């Protein structure tokens, strides 16, 4: 079975409107504008890079698993103001997640979680390939293990 994969970033166009909002408007959307004061610490889900000190990010709630299943989920994400959607190569793991402790969640085509594991980011590629040897696993989602924030989705190629 093919175990090649594609890490998928969130589309930049989906978030540009937040940077045009006032702080009061952001609060109405349960979002906040923040100044980055450390690196790492503000992982952007669009560029799949840690934001640089001095950059502006928006912290907002995002529906990252819109499956018609009990595992539908949303959670906080950061988006950099200047972010462009990352276009990673097949089987490429971004640096942003290689240095973090991760929770990897495996789902079938109906959005039902079939397995999950916590692992160091350095071990992610091997675990992705292991999960994709199971034909019932349709896609994976990566979260930061401590705070539980969504990082990215990984699709089978």
Share of the chain above pLDDT 90, in %: 96
User: Which structure tokens are listed for 70?
Assistant: 């009990």
Q: Which of 149, 40, 43, 154 is nearest to 103 (CA)?
A: 149
Q: At which residue do the structure tokens 């929770």 appear?
A: 103
Query: What is the predicted pLDDT for the residue at 40?
Result: 94
Query: What is the predicted pLDDT for the residue at 1?
Result: 81
Read off the pTM. 0.95
Query: What is the predicted pLDDT for the residue at 26?
Result: 98
d(CA 12, CA 84): 6
Angle at 72 between CA 66 and CA 76, to 5 degrees: 85
The secondary structure of the chain in percent helix, strand, coil, rounded to multiples of 5, reads 20, 35, 45
Q: Please check whether residue 97 is in contact with residue 121, taking contact to mean a CB–CB distance below 8 angstroms.
A: yes
* Burial classification of residue 102, based on how many CB atoms lie within 10 Å of its CB (0-12 exposed, 13-18 middle, 19 or more buried): buried
> Domain tally for the chain?
1
Residue 144, CA distances (Å) to 17, 81, 98, 100, 115 in order? 26, 21, 11, 7, 16
Per-residue pLDDT tens digits for 112-130: 999 999 999 999 999 999 9
DSSP character at residue 50:
B
Enclosing domain of residue 49: 5-156
DSSP character at residue 44:
B
11-16, long-range: CB < 8 A, 24+ apart? 11/46, 11/85, 12/46, 12/83, 12/84, 12/85, 15/46, 15/58, 15/60, 15/79, 15/83
For the chain, list residues with pLDDT below 70.
Answer: none
Query: What is the predicted pLDDT for the residue at 79?
Result: 98
């Amino acid at each position: 079975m093919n175990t090649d994969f594609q890490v998928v970033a969130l589309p930049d166009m989906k978030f540009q409107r937040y940077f045009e909002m006032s702080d009061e408007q952001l609060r109405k959307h349960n979002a906040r504008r923040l100044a980055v004061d450390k690196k790492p610490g503000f992982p952007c889900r669009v560029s799949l890079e840690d934001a640089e000190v001095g950059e502006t990010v928006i912290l907002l709630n995002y529906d990252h698993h819109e499956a018609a299943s009990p595992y539908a989920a949303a959670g906080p994400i950061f988006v950099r103001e200047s972010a462009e959607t990352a276009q990673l190569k097949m089987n490429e793991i971004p640096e942003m997640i290689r240095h973090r402790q991760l929770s990897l969640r495996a789902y079938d085509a109906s959005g039902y979680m079939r397995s999950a594991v916590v692992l160091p980011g350095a071990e992610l590629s091997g675990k992705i390939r292991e999960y994709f040897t199971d034909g019932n696993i349709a896609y994976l989602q990566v979260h930061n293990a401590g705070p539980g924030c969504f990082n990215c989705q990984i699709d089978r190629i």
